[in-house]
Amino acid sequence: MTPATPTPLGHRARRFKPDRDVAEWHGAYRPYDLVKEFLIALVVVVIVVTGLAVIFSSPDDKPVTVKSWSAASPVDFAQTAATELDGSSGTATYGPPYNSTAGASQSIVGVSPESFFGVHHPIDTANDYVLAPLRTLPDRPDVQAAVDRYTTAPASQQAAWTAAYEKAVAKADASHGALVVPPGAYGPVGTIIGSLTSMARSGALDGALLSSRQFYGTDYTKPLLFIADGTYLADKAQAQHLSGDQWGMMNETGSFPGQAWLWLYTLWYQVAPINTSANADFQVWALMMVLTLVLALLPFIPGLRSIPRWTRVYRLIWRQHYRDLAAGSAS
């Protein structure tokens, strides 16, 4: 910026810059009814919106519940439950804000805000998703005995059981409705996961997973993350063109436009090297924060603020004004 120059009138003077300053308008004025314009615009918007609502309605696909998931895909449910029990699921290894898994936090040049803020919504997947719900089952001494046997066993034994179960459940049969897992050396894990599957199919697990223990609850973090750890939700999303490599969450089910304004945010997830980076989410957010700041502060950034003048699109916007100027009638 050119330094200000004091003037005798107590004003500062500086050189005129066309991308920062304007000359005061001394030209013609014309009648312009703002209220009428607004009301006409409102009527037009109401008509357009009503037409779109009548023709296209709005999407409302039923949510996936633990009950519907375990009924539609019991093998996927059982496999997911086993990974929650042995601590190898997506949620169990997520890191902050759900748990403190070492090395799970995303960072850029060593800066990791999620590590700084730490665990705020603690989830112990083995206990919250599997063992604690089973403890609520009344009149099931066999289940309580299996849970007791599992929880009192050494960690190495627990790992051996869950590994054996995960191997066996991959060959499980659910073609007749019930989950039938081939026999194996998985100790009490078969009873645990089998009982949890039955509980899920009855609908009891949906309520047991709600984060709030009050009568009223609105926090669905635990059931949502549990469902998202399986492949059932992702398969449904894939079929509805909603997965990450299909421009993800900016879309909606069906052919609705969704959040099209998130196109730039979603774009970065398709671009190398971000699309293969372990820190992709933080990189995309950092990039978008910088770009948003640049957009907001555009008037202060030399070069960028000159783009409108260079591109001359304004000649199209104010073409009548420039015609009037050429004809000598604008001022």
Q: Which residues within the stretch 172-231 sit at the binding site for another protein (CB under 8 A)?
A: 218-221, 224-225, 227-228
Q: How far is the CB of 81 from another protein (least distance, A)?
A: 18
Round the CA-based radius of gyration of the chain to a whole number and report it: 31
In the complex, minimum distance from the CB of residue 135 to another protein, in angstroms, rounded to a whole number:
24
Q: What is the smallest separation between the CB atom of 130 and another protein, expressed in angstroms? A: 19
Could you tell me which of 285, 248, 330 has the C-alpha nearest to residue 106? 285
Cα distance between residue 88 and residue 95, in whole Å:
12
Residue 318's CB is within 10 A of a number of other CB atoms, namely: 13
User: Which of the residues 312 through 331 are near another protein (CB under 8 A)?
Assistant: 313-314, 317-322, 324-325, 330
Q: Of the candidates 56, 157, 290, 302, which one interacts with another protein according to CB under 8 A?
A: 56
Residue 289 has a CB neighbour count (10 Å cut-off) of 10
* CB of 4 or CB of 145, closer to another protein: 4
Is the Cβ of residue 47 or residue 185 nearer to another protein in the bound state? 47
Residues 6+ apart with CB under 8 A from 160: 185
Query: 272 vs 52, 107, 280, CA distance in Å?
Result: 37, 18, 10
| Residues 64-103 within binding reach of another protein (CB under 8 A) | 64, 96-97
Q: Which is nearer to another protein, 26 or 176 (CB)?
A: 26
Cβ(201)–Cβ(179) below 8 Å: no
Give yes or no for a contact between 181 and 195, defined as CB atoms under 8 angstroms apart. no
Total site size for another protein, rule CB under 8 A:
111
Chain positions 267 to 286 lying near another protein, rule: CB under 8 A, are 279, 281-282, 284-285
Binding region for another protein (CB under 8 A) out of 80-88, 139-147, 148-156, 294-302: 294-302
User: Residue 87 in contact with residue 62, Cβ under 8 Å?
Assistant: no
Contacts for 102 with CB less than 8 Å, ≥ 6 apart: none
We find the least distance from the C-beta atom of residue 232 to another protein, in angstroms, to be 11
Nearest residue (CB) to another protein, 46 versus 170: 46
Q: Does residue number 35 form part of the binding site for another protein (CB under 8 A)?
A: yes
Task: Return the residue of 1, 3, 8, 29 that touches another protein, per CB under 8 A.
Answer: 29
Q: Does 145 bind another protein (CB under 8 A)?
A: no
Cβ 76 to another protein shortest distance, Å:
16
Is 108 strand, coil or helix?
Answer: strand
In the complex, the smallest distance separating the C-beta of residue 133 from another protein, rounded to whole angstroms, is 18
Is 245 buried (19+), middle (13-18) or exposed (0-12) by CB count in 10 A? exposed
